Chain A
Amino acid sequence: MQKDIIADGVLLKVYLEGNENALETLIKRHKSRIFTSILLLVNDRYLAEDIFQETFIKVINSLKSGKYKHEDKFLPWALRIARNLSIDCIRHRGRIPMISDNDGQNIFDYIKVVQDSCERGMIEKEENISLRKLVHSLPEEQKEVLILRHYADLSFKEIAEITNTNINTCIGRMHYALLNLRRMIKKNPVVIK
């Protein structure tokens, strides 16, 4: 038997009436898609956690101040906020000088990896990190469409609206993103299972 799912719009209404559990349900429902989208855009788990929190704090503040327009779907709206915050963060990070090792790797990446595993006890699957690296190495426009279509579950039409392009351009970028990923995976058969 299929379980009844309460629509996002209903949860938002109940939340604004004072039921805090409705927000938790919304977060649980969409957290993976939103977090993965952020993580793939900024390629840094710490930053992704911060942006994820900031996204939902903006969501909450907008909801409570009555700024949320009900004609918007919740997920595309939240993802638009997450995307804008991620892009702001990438721009800001671009101005911060990096300290690199001989291979050009930012040395803080190593420190973060160690801290991540020590402090949080989170063990990421090696193949996930590798696939994430491959996605991150795609050209920006292809990466963005791939993230928004695959992880954020936005339609090509919605992506076209967000990115100010047309649907055919979006589908074309997705096509090349998948071709490039396929090519990179073939080159790294050991890395990706």
Chain B
Amino acid sequence: MDESVTQHLILRYIYGETGPAEDLKVRGILSSNSEMMSYYKDAMEIKAQLNDAMEEPHPTSVSIICEHSHNSHTEAV
């Protein structure tokens, strides 16, 4: 299989977009191809770092939205 096709398949696997047959295929590739295993590990490492960088809005923003909703509901009633 072409290298980039394999890497794309691994990316879909990492993001849970592969079916059972493709999952088996990827596991087979990872256990037999050290370059692809290295690609997989690198991608997983960056994925973990991106997860750590998740941010939350300030609570005031949520309050403003809820207030808008409440007011528009009251107006409608």
Chain A residues proximal to chain B, CB less than 8 Å: 18, 20, 23-24, 27-28, 31-33, 35-36, 39, 48-49, 52-53, 56-57, 60-61, 64, 120, 122, 124, 127-128, 131-132, 135, 146, 149-151, 155-156, 168, 171-172, 174-175, 178, 181-182, 185, 192
- Bound Cα distance A132, B49 (Å): 10
Chain B residues proximal to chain A, CB less than 8 Å: 4, 7-8, 11-12, 15, 17, 42-43, 46-47, 49-50, 52-58, 60-62, 64-66, 68-70, 72-73, 76
**Is there contact, CB below 8 Å, between A171 and B49?**
no
**Is there contact, CB below 8 Å, between A35 and B69?**
no
Q: Choose one: B11, B12, B65, B72; the contact of A64 (CB below 8 Å).
A: B72
Interface of A: prevailing SS: helix
- Bound Cα distance A181, B54 (Å): 16
**Is there contact, CB below 8 Å, between A49 and B58?**
yes
**Is there contact, CB below 8 Å, between B65 and A57?**
yes
